[in-house]
């Protein structure tokens, strides 16, 4: 082999392998951006994106859910109205949700039957640049452009290669979850548990509600009232050790601002008897990980029982009730 | 433009290469040089063109001084030294203005208790490198070692894109004969294959290895409030490896890219972490900077010709200047001071005829360098102290929770059990295994320059190079700057 042949082999290999990978990537379309086939299972949240979900609203009525990873397994409200879960694609930052709702056209808006909103720690971070979850994701309709799709397909990375492999045969890599057509994360094991940690010293997310985040949520609320879309707010549920670190006083101040701003109420589900403290065999039965995510079964159970069919037990609609709740919680956990 | 970017690899490099050799093939050698200079300036101004006039003015200034120094007529020795002084003051003044103004003012404010407002100047890209390179050119011109009357040649010497941003710092006399050589104006596949081979290694070192260690170094230095014993060692070692793979990766890419144009740049790294004493380390680390400091600072101060005390003094001054060159901050100066002190101690030690066993010498040298990097990397003194406190165990020792059974007796000595690398936020197995693997690699394996020397064309090297490039390209979407761009 001479030097010229060496260079040729090098270039053929680099460009040949890369082009082949692009062709396979487009053919498998693991992120569903080329939409050449009607898929119903995907392997990462990005595959079923905000635009795909929003497009469905042009044709049919839906109830919507906004939130974080703590609500991404909720698949419906038990009614015969179909359900779109935006927790993974749009995420729940109120700034994004507000921007999203305002960009819906008249047909899409008319097809929104009701909204459920999980108000988690990240969702009211507003424009805080230090929090990676609060980057504003304004709807970008340019992502439909051919050139955008091509760029996405040409600039491959490890994750894209992995998703392509999983798409080819996801059993080989034992995917622990799939994402369905409505944006819901469907974990293959719905009854995961969490070993009770020996010690639990820091919460996985900061309680950091900003003024612009609060203003954005009030903006969402006003938008819904103006357009006569019913909206229900609820909080995530945590396990006991998590709640011991939780700053209820801080929450009292922030939620008081929301109630003062016009929110008609919310379901305070941080602590639910027989869920938060349900331990058997040194395991939290309702939770799947130390980040305080409920397992699939309990995420839906808590939602249906306490938000959809919720009585007044966890519903807080005044600063007085909020004060009582915080006083009780502080006694219980501090 | 970054070497580790799609636009450089797929657009800039191939187009510049093809047009340069096309022009040479048409015997348009002046046009090819002009094209190389202009395209290099385009490369320089890709991020921000606002400092383009600065580098142009700097080039013209030094070219005028340099040609005046090399013209014999009308200049006495005295007037030449004045010209050289003006030239050096001009360069150091420019560097000082952009790099050290705020440092100087903030220290004045502290000492005198005044509040002179800071200027918050952005450091122009590559200013430390092109300033040093041009000072060397002026001194060489003064000494008669360089004669350059063609501005285009001079522009190519300063701006040649592979070495423009972060070196290697080159001498006029080692570059210009190569550009003038007719044989270098045609494509040489031997050099192309070698260049691609070295470039692939450098890219892999940067985007796969250095950027992996970077995450842990950032978590330890910038995010963590307290670092326990093992966390602190992981933090410092991660930075030690990150810096080496980042900068030596950059140098490999520069050497590889230059080879495509048949230009041989000097070696910048020669397995520095194999060094068994501090003098050995500085013969292996950032070789072209060491060469510059030795030739133009240490020897100018008198070197070792004026007795032991002056030699030690000169060493200290040279290394403090070296520290200051890296950044306008007391931590950089202290880092330079530490290395100067180590070299003085090593010299005294050697003068007594004492020698350390090479293994002990390596352990001492590696740990000294690793600890000194803490000051180099820390943003503030407090950050350095926090990491060092952790490294000597003053912030507690945490062992993996699974060892709590066997080693429970250690609890009585204050040792805790649990998440032992919590602040680093990486998988403990991954972090420790990569640190061990790359420690072995840097100490026991051949470096990229040695591989380049023994490079042979063949299927193995071609496939391996392609594989390294492909693996690196998959990481290009998380493009990160090279550490030495900041210096």
pLDDT single digits (tens) B14-42: 999 999 999 999 989 899 999 999 999 99
pLDDT of res. B145 = 76
| Interchain CB contact of B299 with A (< 8 Å) | no
- Identify the band that residue A119 occupies on the pLDDT scale cut at 50, 70 and 90: very high
- Please give the positions of B annotated as active site: 326
Which conformational region is residue B427 in: left (phi greater than 0), alpha (psi within -120 to 50 degrees), or beta?
A: beta
Q: Which of B140-144, B393-397, B453-457 has the highest mean pLDDT?
A: B453-457
d(CA B311, CA A157): 53
Hey, what are B305's tokens? 């010709």
Classify the complex by whether its ipTM is higher than 0.85, answering yes or no. Answer: yes
Alpha helix (H) residue ranges in B327-423:
330-351, 358-377, 381-391
pLDDT in tens, B163-201: 988 878 888 888 888 988 888 999 999 999 999 999 999
Q: Is the pLDDT reported for residue A121 higher than 60? A: yes
pLDDT in tens, B92-111: 999 999 989 999 999 999 98
| H helix or E strand, kind and range, residue A250 | helix A248-260
- Identify the band that residue A169 occupies on the pLDDT scale cut at 50, 70 and 90: low
CB contact under 8 A, A7 and B193: yes
List the one residue out of A56, A123, A110 whose CA is nearest residue A85: A56
Q: Which residues of B touch A14 (CB under 8 A)?
A: 466, 469-470
HSE (CB half, 13 Å, CA atoms) of A73?
Answer: 23
pLDDT of res. A150 = 84
Share of chain A above pLDDT 90, in %: 44
pLDDT in tens, B201-216: 999 999 999 999 998 9
In this complex, the residue of A10, A157, A198 whose CB is nearest that of residue B474 is A157
Q: What is the CA radius of gyration of chain B?
A: 24
List the one residue out of B262, B267, B274 whose CA is nearest residue B252: B267
For B472, name the nearest residue in chain A, comparing CA atoms only.
A157
Q: Which residues of A touch B463 (CB under 8 A)?
A: 9, 13
- Which of B259, B400, B455, B465 to probe the A interface (max A CBs under 10 A)? B465
Bridge-based pairing of strands B415-418 and B397-400 is: parallel
How close does chain A come to B169, measured CA to CA in Å? 29
Distance from the Cα of residue B377 to its chain's centroid: 13
Listing DSSP states for B318-352 in one string gives HHHHHHHHH-SSHHHHHHHHHHHHHHHHHHHHHHT
- Segment B243-250 shows an average pLDDT of 95
Alpha helix (H) residue ranges in B100-228:
101-112, 127-142, 151-159, 161-164, 172-180, 189-204, 211-218
Share of chain B above pLDDT 70, in %: 96
Peptide bond into B168 cis (omega under 30): yes
- Which of A4, A5, A6 to probe the B interface (max B CBs under 10 A)? A6
Listing DSSP states for A87-152 in one string gives TTTT-S-HHHHHHHHHT--HHHHHTEEEEEEE--TGGG-TT-TTSGGG------GGGGSHHHHHHH
pLDDT of res. B5 = 87
pLDDT of res. B485 = 52
d(CA B62, CA B42): 21
Q: Which of A203-207, B296-300, B432-436 has the highest mean pLDDT?
A: B432-436
Q: Is the pLDDT reported for residue A202 higher than 60? A: yes
Give the residue, A182 or B361, on which the prediction is more confident: B361
pLDDT in tens, B343-356: 999 999 988 888 88
Q: Which residues of B touch A155 (CB under 8 A)?
A: 6, 476-477
pLDDT of res. B17 = 96
The answer to whether residues A77 and A116 touch, using CB atoms and an 8 Å cutoff, is: yes
pLDDT of res. A176 = 72
d(CA A19, CA B351): 62
Q: Which of A120-124, A235-239, B356-360, B409-413 has the highest mean pLDDT?
A: A235-239
- Which of B212, B223, B418, B457 to probe the A interface (max A CBs under 10 A)? B457
pTM as predicted: 0.75
Q: Is the pLDDT reported for residue B220 higher than 60? A: yes
| Interchain CB contact of B401 with A (< 8 Å) | yes
List the one residue out of B382, B280, B380 whose CA is nearest residue B332: B380
List the one residue out of B104, B135, B477 whose CA is nearest residue B296: B135
- Segment B352-374 shows an average pLDDT of 93
Listing DSSP states for A60-91 in one string gives S-EEEEE--TTSTT----SSSSEEEE-TTTT-
Q: How does DSSP classify residue B116?
A: P
Distance from the Cα of residue B408 to its chain's centroid: 46
Q: Which of A33-37, B283-287, B299-303 has the highest mean pLDDT?
A: B283-287
pLDDT of res. A36 = 61
Q: Which residues of A touch B473 (CB under 8 A)?
A: 18, 156
Phi then psi for residue A117, to 5 deg, are -135, 110
Q: Is the pLDDT reported for residue B153 higher than 80? A: yes
| Interchain CB contact of B10 with A (< 8 Å) | no
Give me the residue label for tokens 């701003």: A261
The strand pairing partners of B417, in sequence order, are B399
pLDDT in tens, A50-59: 777 888 888 8
In this complex, the residue of B465, B470, B478 whose CB is nearest that of residue A18 is B470
d(CA B416, CA B217): 23
pLDDT of res. A129 = 54
Instruction: List the end-to-end C-alpha distance of chain A, in Å, as a whole number.
Output: 75
- Identify the band that residue A141 occupies on the pLDDT scale cut at 50, 70 and 90: very low
Dmax over CA atoms of chain A, in Å, equals 84
List the one residue out of B356, B10, B229 whose CA is nearest residue A155: B10
Q: For residue B333, give Cα distances in angstroms to A112, B317, B364, B466.
A: 63, 10, 22, 42
- Segment B249-257 shows an average pLDDT of 95
Task: Residue B460: count other Cβ atoms within 10 Å of its Cβ.
Answer: 9
- Segment B263-268 shows an average pLDDT of 94
Segment among A142-151, B366-375, B448-457, B470-479 with least mean pLDDT: A142-151
Bridge-based pairing of strands A82-85 and A112-118 is: unpaired
Averaged pLDDT of chain A: 84
How close does chain B come to A15, measured CA to CA in Å? 9
d(CA A226, CA B186): 73
List the one residue out of B309, B311, B331 whose CA is nearest residue B320: B331
d(CA A61, CA A64): 10
Residues found in chain A: 334
d(CA B156, CA B152): 6
CB contact under 8 A, A10 and B466: yes
pLDDT of res. A222 = 95
Averaged pLDDT of chain B: 90
Give me the residue label for tokens 């103006």: A226
How close does chain B come to A3, measured CA to CA in Å? 5
List the one residue out of A142, A162, A138 whose CA is nearest residue A151: A142
Which residues does A contribute to its contact with B (CB < 8 Å)? 1-7, 9-10, 13-14, 17-18, 155-158, 161, 198-199
Would you tell me which residues 411-440 of chain B have a C-beta closer than 8 angstroms to some C-beta of chain A? 418
Which conformational region is residue B156 in: left (phi greater than 0), alpha (psi within -120 to 50 degrees), or beta?
A: alpha
Q: Is the pLDDT reported for residue A204 higher than 80? A: no
Share of chain B above pLDDT 90, in %: 61
List the one residue out of B45, B60, B50 whose CA is nearest residue B134: B60
For B469, name the nearest residue in chain A, comparing CA atoms only.
A14
pLDDT of res. A30 = 77
Give the residue, A151 or B47, on which the prediction is more confident: A151
pLDDT in tens, A211-237: 888 999 999 999 999 999 999 999 999
Give me the residue label for tokens 């003015």: B57
Q: Is the pLDDT reported for residue A44 higher than 60? A: no
| H helix or E strand, kind and range, residue B416 | strand B415-418
Q: Which residues of A touch B401 (CB under 8 A)?
A: 198
List the one residue out of B271, B310, B211 whose CA is nearest residue B447: B271
Q: Is the pLDDT reported for residue A241 higher than 50? A: yes
| H helix or E strand, kind and range, residue B257 | helix B229-260
Q: Is the pLDDT reported for residue B225 higher than 90? A: no
Hey, what are A108's tokens? 């899409």
Q: Which residues of A touch B195 (CB under 8 A)?
A: none
- Identify the band that residue B73 occupies on the pLDDT scale cut at 50, 70 and 90: low
Hey, what are A240's tokens? 């006991």
Q: Which residues of A touch B469 (CB under 8 A)?
A: 14
Phi then psi for residue A78, to 5 deg, are 80, -5
CB contact under 8 A, A7 and B461: no
- Which of A3, A8, A10, A161 to probe the B interface (max B CBs under 10 A)? A10
pLDDT in tens, B407-427: 888 888 888 887 788 777 777
């Amino acid at each position: 082999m001479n030097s010229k042949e060496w260079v040729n082999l090098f270039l053929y290999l680099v460009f040949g392998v890369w082009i082949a990978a692009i062709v396979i990537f487009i053919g498998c379309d693991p992120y569903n951006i080329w939409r050449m086939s009607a898929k119903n299972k995907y392997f990462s949240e990005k595959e079923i994106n905000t635009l795909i979900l929003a497009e469905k609203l042009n044709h049919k009525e839906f109830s919507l859910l906004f939130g974080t990873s703590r609500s991404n397994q909720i698949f419906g409200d038990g009614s015969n109205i179909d359900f779109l879960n935006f927790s993974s694609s749009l995420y729940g930052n109120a700034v994004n949700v507000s921007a999203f709702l305002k960009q819906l056209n008249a047909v899409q808006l008319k097809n929104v039957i009701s909204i459920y909103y999980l108000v988690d720690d990240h969702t009211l971070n507003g424009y805080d640049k230090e929090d990676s979850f609060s980057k504003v994701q304004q709807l970008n309709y340019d992502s439909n452009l051919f050139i955008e799709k091509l760029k996405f397909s040409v600039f491959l990375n490890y994750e894209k290669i992995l998703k392509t492999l999983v798409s080819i045969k996801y059993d080989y890599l034992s995917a622990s979850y799939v994402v369905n057509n409505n944006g819901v994360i469907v974990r293959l094991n719905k009854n995961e548990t969490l070993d009770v940690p020996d010690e639990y010293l820091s919460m996985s997310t900061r309680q950091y509600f900003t003024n612009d985040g609060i203003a954005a949520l009030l903006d969402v609320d006003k938008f819904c009232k103006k357009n006569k879309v019913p909206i229900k707010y609820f909080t995530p549920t945590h396990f006991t050790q998590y709640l011991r670190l939780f700053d209820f006083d801080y929450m009292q101040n922030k939620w008081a601002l929301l109630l003062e701003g016009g929110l008609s109420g919310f379901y305070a589900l941080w602590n639910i008897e027989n869920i938060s403290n349900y331990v058997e065999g040194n395991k939290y039965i309702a939770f799947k990980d130390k980040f305080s995510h409920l397992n699939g079964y309990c995420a839906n159970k808590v939602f249906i029982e306490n938000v959809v069919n919720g009585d007044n037990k966890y519903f807080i609609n005044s600063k007085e009730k909020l004060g009582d709740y915080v006083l009780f919680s502080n006694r219980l956990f501090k | 433009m970054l070497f580790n970017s799609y636009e450089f690899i797929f657009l800039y490099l191939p187009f510049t290469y093809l047009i340069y050799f096309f022009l040479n093939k048409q015997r348009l050698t002046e046009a090819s040089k002009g094209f190389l200079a202009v395209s290099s300036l385009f490369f320089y101004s890709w991020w921000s063109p606002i400092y383009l006039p600065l580098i142009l003015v700097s080039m013209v200034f030094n070219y005028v001084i340099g040609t005046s120094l090399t013209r014999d007529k009308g200049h006495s020795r005295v007037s030449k030294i004045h010209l050289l002084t003006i030239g050096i003051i001009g360069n150091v003044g420019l560097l000082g203005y952009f790099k050290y103004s705020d440092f100087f003012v903030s220290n004045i404010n502290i000492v005198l208790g005044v509040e002179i407002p800071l200027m918050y100047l952005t450091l122009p890209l590559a200013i430390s490198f092109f300033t040093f390179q041009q000072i060397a050119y002026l001194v060489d011109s003064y000494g008669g070692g360089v004669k350059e009357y063609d501005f285009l040649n001079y522009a190519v010497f300063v701006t040649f894109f592979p070495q423009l941003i972060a070196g290697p710092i080159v001498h006029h006399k080692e570059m210009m004969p190569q550009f003038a050589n007719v044989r270098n104006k045609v494509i040489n596949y031997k050099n192309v294959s070698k260049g691609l081979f070295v470039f692939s290694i450098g890219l892999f070192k940067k985007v796969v290895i250095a950027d992996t260690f970077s995450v842990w170094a950032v978590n330890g230095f910038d995010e963590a409030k307290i670092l326990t014993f093992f966390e602190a060692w992981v933090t410092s070692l991660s930075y030690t490896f990150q810096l080496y793979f980042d900068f030596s990766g950059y140098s490999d890419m520069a050497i590889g890219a230059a080879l495509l144009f048949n230009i041989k740049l000097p070696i910048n790294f020669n397995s520095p972490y194999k060094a068994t004493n501090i003098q050995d380390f500085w013969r292996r680390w950032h070789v072209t900077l060491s060469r510059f400091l030795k030739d133009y600072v240490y020897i100018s101060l008198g070197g070792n010709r004026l007795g032991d005390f002056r030699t030690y003094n000169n060493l200290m001054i040279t290394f403090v200047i070296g520290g200051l060159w890296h950044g306008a901050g007391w931590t950089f100066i202290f880092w330079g001071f530490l290395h100067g002190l180590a070299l003085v101690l090593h010299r005294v030690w050697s003068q007594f005829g004492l020698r350390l066993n090479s293994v002990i010498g390596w352990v001492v040298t590696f740990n000294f360098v690793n600890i000194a990097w803490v000051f180099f990397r820390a943003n503030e003194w407090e950050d350095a102290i926090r990491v060092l406190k952790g490294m000597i165990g003053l912030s507690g020792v945490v062992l993996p929770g699974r060892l709590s059974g066997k080693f429970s007796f250690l609890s009585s000595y204050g040792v805790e059990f649990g998440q032992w690398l919590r602040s680093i936020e990486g998988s403990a197995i991954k972090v420790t295994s990569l640190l061990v693997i790359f420690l072995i690699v840097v100490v026991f394996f051949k470096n990229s320059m040695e591989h380049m020397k023994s490079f042979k064309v063949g299927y193995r090297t071609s496939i391996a190079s392609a594989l390294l490039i492909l693996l690196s390209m998959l990481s290009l979407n998380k493009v990160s700057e090279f550490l030495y761009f900041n210096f």
